[in-house]
Structure 1
Amino acid sequence: MTMEEGENEIILKCGRSKFNLSTLKTDDFPIISDNDLSTNFVLSADELIRIIDKTKFAVSNEETRYYLNGIFLHKAERNSIQFLRAVATDGHRLAQYDIPLPQGAEDITGNNYSKKNYI
């Protein structure tokens, strides 16, 4: 079996078979090093369920807008108080839910968690 990288595809060849698999450009994604993944914090199961329940209604089901198919979790601040904020939208509805920032989440970077992770 051979594998070749094309412009926006990977070409797999094996015997008489040839498969062209569409891909996204790697330049469109940030480079993540091991050092970027050092944030650890704890949420209770009840808090996590509440975050999901309060935002999942607004998660998009449209496959062409895959970037809206999840809940965006990030650190936010209002009136000098820091929160862990969950946001979801389908382009028509917007859901936002805040909880006090858990200990250890001070350096969290924003992440979009696909609905495949929780539905």
Structure 2
Amino acid sequence: MKGSEEEEEFDCENCGACCRCFPIFAVEIDAEREPRIRKAGVRCDDFLGEEGKVAYRLFPLFRKEACVFLKEDQLCRIYETRPDACRRFEPGGEQCRQARRRVGVIGRAS
């Protein structure tokens, strides 16, 4: 169906929906690139059951709070050095559309 949500192309609108709807974990390589991750994130030892693997949870309460690096203007405080998980997130992809629906961004006038 032409004009359906599935056919629409989305670019990043800097709405911050992705930073408010999904748990965000940074791994050690991310923390090496951006040292503030170690201070702001909650350390998780043996991440994903892998002994010795460390990660940092940047999303304090799932679906209750935003990533610790999301600013009031909905922009990322560490965008240039953001975690790989954030770099892989596809603007306009299914997860993006899901996040936008949750926060009420889809369907609003631009």
Per the normalisation by structure 1, the TM-score is 0.20
- Bigger radius of gyration among the two: 1
Per the normalisation by structure 2, the TM-score is 0.21
User: Structure 1 or 2: larger helix share?
Assistant: 2
